[in-house]
Amino acid sequence: MNLHEYQGKQLFADYGLPVSKGFAVDTPEAAEEACKKIGGDMWVVKAQVHAGGRGKAGGVKLIKDPAEAKAFAEKWLGKNLVTFQTDEKGQPVAKILVETCTDIADELYLGAVVDRTTRRVVFMASTEGGVEIETVAEETPEKILKAEIDPLVGAQPYQARELAFALGLKGDQIKQFTKIFLGLSQLFHDKDLALLEINPLVVTEEGNLHCLDAKLGLDSNALYRHPDLQAMRDPSQEDQREADAAKWELNYVALDGNIGCMVNGAGLAMGTMDIVNLSGGKPANFLDVMAAPPRSAWLKRSKSSSLTTMLKPYWLTFSAVSYVAT
């Protein structure tokens, strides 16, 4: 489950991390009023969607008049924003984030993911802030710095200092980076995150570090421990079929084909999808019902229009396993 930028920054603020003063609004009038509440003479307005590339798509704008914030909100609220990370339909915009403008001297990258190979959280940092980290990894992998977090002792200050030195930070910036690094590590652990990115983490004209963006992905399997975060879910940003399936706790992933697959067991489900492909078909979904709710629930959902639109008859695959004590 992903969070919007404004939601991520709320969590950052809760952990004492430096973020811009701002308001998430849902009307043009509120956008104009937010500028007045923030004060100053320059602001940034951002369309809130679960996708990158908003700036190039016109979803981020620097403004100098509160009336421009109102006009921006009128343009985007209720509309779909199409970026290189969305499909041709784009993502619906229901909120606009209005923030203070930050003077930028340099841009860095700082993020964390769960490394499935080492089974540890790995922090990544780079001097190539503001650029998609996938692009950096492909073109200049040597510019990505890493720090593995030992789950027994947690993130350590020396790891933050090593990254800070490698990024070229100096003086008080190293202390600031250490605070941000340790705060993010604690946030990652406390909230059961699967992904965390600040891109860019900027150095301001005054020489301070500032979290200019916030991208957070939560482990959906751990949401039962975080009802407060579950309340932040925005189904409008998800595939309608996946959002519908999530309501019934189905392990469902939407695909582009037109042959529906209902299978018990993840391994068998993937094998079934391979068979469909080898036979010239295209799976419309991955669906493992082994850990699903009672039979009546998922059978009812299997007839849902959002899950079966444009499908050919379902491919049903079941398996039986016997265990013999020896």
Number of H helices and E strands in the chain, helices first, is 11, 16
Per-residue pLDDT at 325 exceeds 80:
no
Q: Residue type at 140?
A: T
| Cα 180 from Cα 18, distance rounded (Å) | 8
Positions marked catalytic: 109, 197
- Summarised one tens digit per residue, pLDDT across range 68-111 is 999 999 999 999 999 988 888 899 999 999 999 999 999 999 99
Contacts of 162 (CB under 8 A, 6+ apart): 147
pLDDT (0 to 100) of residue 50: 94
pLDDT score recorded for residue 298: 54
C-alpha torsion sign, points 31, 35, 41, 42:
negative
Angle (CA) 239-245-246 rounded to 5° is: 90
Q: Are 73 and 45 in contact (CB under 8 A)?
A: yes
Question: In order of start, what are the domains of the chain with their CATH numbers?
Answer: 21-100 (3.30.1490.20), 104-227 (3.30.470.20), 239-317 (3.40.50.261)
- Rounded to an integer, what distance in angstroms lies between the CA atom of residue 217 and that of residue 111? 11
Provide the pLDDT confidence category of residue 239 given band limits of 50, 70 and 90.
confident
Q: What is the pLDDT of residues 14-48, one digit of tens each?
A: 999 999 999 999 999 999 999 999 999 999 999 99
- The stretch 150-162 carries a mean pLDDT of 97
Q: With beta carbons less than 8 A apart as the criterion, state whether 155 and 182 touch.
A: yes
pLDDT per residue as tens digits for the range 44-73: 999 999 998 898 899 999 999 999 999 999
- Helix, strand, coil shares, percent, the chain, to 5: 35, 25, 35
* CA distance linking residue 181 with residue 175, whole number of Å: 10
Indicate if the pLDDT at residue 305 is higher than 50. no
Per-residue model confidence as pLDDT tens digits over 184-234: 999 999 999 999 999 999 999 999 999 999 999 999 889 999 999 999 999
Instruction: Give pLDDT, residue 87.
Output: 84
The average confidence (pLDDT) of the chain is 89
Whole-prediction pTM value?
0.83
297-318 core/surface letters (b: 16 or more CB in 10 A; e: else): ebeebbeeeebbeeeeebbebe
**Could you tell me the pLDDT band of residue 321, with boundaries at 50, 70 and 90?**
very low
Indicate whether 326 pLDDT > 50: no
Q: Which two tokens stand for residue 272?
A: 């079934």
